[in-house]
Amino acid sequence: MGTTPTEVLAFPNIRAIVRDNGTAEVVVAGNSRIVPAGDSVQDLRNNALALVVGEAQTLQRPVRVQIEDPEGHGELIVHPDNTIESVSYEPRPARRRAEAPETTPETVAPTVIDTVPVAAPEPVAAPAQPTAAATVDRQPWPPNPAETEPTTETPAPAQPAAAEEPQTTATAPEAPLTRRSLKETSFLVSAPILEPATQGWRGTLTRLGYRMDPSAEELSEREDIRTVSQHWPGPRTIAVVNRKGGANKTPTVVMLSAILARYSGAATVAWDNNESQGTLGWRTEKGSHDRSVLDLIDASTELLSPSTNAAEIAKFVHHQTADKFDVLRSDENEEGDHEVTAEEVDIAHQVLTRYYRLVVMDSGNTARSANWRRMIDHTNQLVVPVTAIEDRAEAARLTLQTLESRGGHNAELARNAVVIVSESTDAKRSMSGDALQRAKDEARRIADGFEPFVRAVVRIPYDPAMVNGPIRYEALQPATQRAWLAAAAAVASGF
């Protein structure tokens, strides 16, 4: 099929392991998932492949899987549409032993049999398909010849009996069976226990002593929390961009920083990379000093010194006491005219990635400026916020188009961007019911318009706590908090 190596290798390594002790598991990026039990090795293969198909469908791209079973090992390519290709398969050498002859009046030669278990044929009913997370259309796992080709044994001709003395049948000595290594098995085969419901009426019944499973909505929220709670090797930089002012860039920076810091516990900094005077400092808490990015750049030699204590960074950032992240403000000197250069962006980024695991960058409105372009060079994940207003949406489209036209890393960021469509606007407070519904419909239309061109689109409902003043996560309505959690999960899944 037309699968390129880049598409396949983009997904973390997957291993499907079927053991001859009747257990199997699928390992995705180091995380083990227990395969549902089956009556045969073939059932375990089917169930393992069904889990791999589910991973491919979740990712929406082909994945490569290494397979191991008692009969052999190799590689498959699994596609989201349930089609599966066999890349290679190498059967294991069969272990053989001699079987003692039957005690019959007629002496026959010993029969050599394969110790690999062979499934007994079912002449009437077809075997039932296993229940799993996804259905595999066909079974491409390379079969063991012992299972697919019946062995026709030709009995040895009877030897004539000697007249002088009876013929003694010689049996071959039984070959020693290889003892399995302790590294090849584990007693830890139980699936994780699902924690009971904590939300809604199910959570109420759980607290009353009736253990209830969580709803689909609660399971989805738990998965988003798990996604944003990860720790990734090396620092990650998020750039929040839109060429139009008033597109919710700064509130987006605040909310992504708050959620990632709260759930992951990773050191997180929000950096106002506006080429002039940004507003991130206006929407967040101020510390006991007035220092900005220019002061941090001036002190970069000291901050990058191996002898400098990590706590020294507190002299230059403003800590958010409730939401647990720090803010690096832009220069707010009314009399100053300094614009941050590309080289200064490099210096500030080097300092911040020494002290923080996550860097969320606010930006100005000029995609041609040196600091804007250098920010993109350091970016791992692009976020494009937009309000439900046509000119904001058009500015977001042009921003993505500009990056796409530049090719390379810029184009890759545009294709994998997360677009966040927000309904928050001052006009909402005076809108009638019909006008509010029209605003929701417009937000849905804009979100649908971006969906084919980016990796993810998330909609955020209107919330008065997002309109003015410092933004606090706890001040938001529950529906708004849930929407921002989904947005942060969409961003984190791109790491």
- What pLDDT digit, counting tens, does each position of 178-211 carry? 666 777 777 887 778 899 999 998 999 999 998 9
Enumerate the β-bridge partners of residue 328: 271
**Where does the pLDDT of residue 93 fall: very low under 50, low under 70, confident under 90, or very high at 90 and above?**
low
pLDDT value at 155 more than 60: no
CA distance 432 to 190: 55
Residue-level pLDDT at 41: 79
**Where does the pLDDT of residue 13 fall: very low under 50, low under 70, confident under 90, or very high at 90 and above?**
confident
Lowest mean pLDDT of 226-240, 256-270, 291-305, 436-450, name the range: 436-450
For the chain, what is the largest distance between any 2 Cα atoms, rounded to a whole number of angstroms? Answer: 123
Give tens-digit pLDDT for 309-320. 999 999 999 999
**Where does the pLDDT of residue 4 fall: very low under 50, low under 70, confident under 90, or very high at 90 and above?**
very low
CA distance 212 to 198: 9
pLDDT value at 123 more than 50: no
CA distance 315 to 268: 16
Alpha helical stretches, state H, 164-307: 200-207, 216-228, 249-264, 293-298, 300-303
pLDDT value at 115 more than 50: no
**Where does the pLDDT of residue 130 fall: very low under 50, low under 70, confident under 90, or very high at 90 and above?**
very low
Give tens-digit pLDDT for 210-239. 899 999 999 999 999 999 999 999 999 999
Residue-level pLDDT at 425: 60
Percent over 90 (pLDDT), the chain: 51
Residue-level pLDDT at 39: 73
DSSP-derived pairing of the beta strands 14-18 and 31-34? unpaired
Q: Is the pTM of this model over 0.75?
A: no
3-state secondary structure of 469: coil
3-state secondary structure of 420: strand
Q: Which residue has the higher pLDDT, 74 or 397?
A: 397
For residue 206, the one-letter residue type is T
